[in-house]
């Protein structure tokens, strides 16, 4: 894969905040309709619809978006991301209006969770039609190595004979997630992994065994925070 394949990420993330009419920008990049899941209908609606099994956040949270017109929208809005439909939901905090974002009008977005900033981007190298948002886990889009994460939440069939759920009145849907990691390397191309561990990374980067062995000696089961640090290190070599 040539270096220009990673350029789309650099463009998406290296976007300055510019002055604009936020209300007009908001109208320009949304579908003027309520979210199909109607998350405003109840106080705990996201939790009732699957909670963090399906959504990134259990309730509305802070974040920001950058539109296709390079306009940043942040103040006065709340956000959440749906892994079943790969949709971003936005709430106008003042007006109480909830909408689902039109993907063609959205370049990138970020959510704040537990002190972390989760960044989501599209990748034409993986999804040429640009319909999917991937979490940027680690690496520098302006460097040579990037780690993306694609999570899909699928509703589990309802077991009508589940005594405990019937007894407790638990009728909320339950979801199961499938995660795929994509290592995008300017020299090695794109590699997909359902499990990203020591074995997989050593096979991909045998010349960086010292770094990888040291990392996995310290971290047995790396999470996204750990992988972020690791891939930042891979970019410096």
pLDDT, position 171: 61
pLDDT, position 10: 38
Q: Where are the beta strands (DSSP E) in 36-172?
A: 63-67, 72-73, 77-82, 87-92, 97-100, 106-113, 116-121, 134-139, 145-155
CA angle 193, 118, 67 (to 5 degrees): 110
What residues contact 106, with CB distance under 8 A and at least 6 apart?
A: 29, 65, 66, 67, 68, 88
pLDDT, position 29: 44
Distance between CA atoms of 10 and 32, rounded to whole angstroms?
A: 30
List per-residue pLDDT tens for the chain, 237 residues long: 433 333 334 334 443 333 334 444 444 444 333 344 455 444 567 888 889 999 999 999 999 999 988 999 999 999 999 999 999 999 988 877 788 888 888 899 999 999 999 999 999 899 999 889 999 999 877 778 999 999 999 998 876 666 565 555 566 678 999 999 999 999 999 999 999 999 999 999 999 999 999 999 999 899 999 999 999 898 876
Check if the beta carbon of residue 12 is closer than 8 Å to that of residue 121: yes
* Residue 134 phi, psi dihedral angles, 5° rounding: -115, 145
Q: Where are the beta strands (DSSP E) in the chain?
A: 63-67, 72-73, 77-82, 87-92, 97-100, 106-113, 116-121, 134-139, 145-155, 175-185, 189-193
pLDDT, position 16: 36
* CB half-sphere exposure, 80, CA atoms < 13 A: 30
């Amino acid at each position: 894969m040539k270096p220009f394949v990673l350029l789309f990420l650099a463009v998406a993330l290296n976007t300055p905040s510019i002055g604009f009419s936020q209300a007009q920008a908001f109208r320009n990049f949304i579908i003027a309709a309520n979210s199909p899941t109607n998350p405003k209908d109840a106080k705990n609606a996201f939790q009732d619809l699957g909670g963090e099994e399906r959504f990134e956040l259990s309730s509305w949270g802070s974040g920001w978006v950058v539109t296709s017109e390079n306009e940043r929208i942040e103040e006065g809005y709340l956000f959440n991301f749906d892994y079943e439909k790969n949709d971003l939901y936005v709430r106008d905090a003042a007006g109480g209006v909830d909408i689902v974002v039109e993907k063609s009008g959205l370049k990138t977005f970020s959510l704040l969770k537990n002190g972390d900033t989760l960044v989501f981007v599209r990748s034409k190298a993986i999804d040429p039609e640009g319909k999917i948002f991937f979490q940027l886990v680690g690496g520098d889009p302006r460097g040579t190595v990037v780690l993306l994460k694609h999570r899909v939440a699928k509703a589990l069939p309802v077991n009508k004979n589940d005594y405990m759920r019937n007894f407790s009145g638990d009728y909320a849907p339950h979801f199961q997630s499938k995660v795929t990691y994509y290592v995008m390397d300017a020299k090695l191309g794109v590699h997909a992994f359902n499990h990203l561990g020591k074995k997989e990374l050593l096979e991909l980067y045998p010349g960086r065994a010292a770094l990888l062995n040291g990392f996995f000696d310290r971290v047995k089961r790396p999470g996204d925070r750990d992988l972020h640090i690791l891939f930042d290190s891979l970019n410096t070599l």
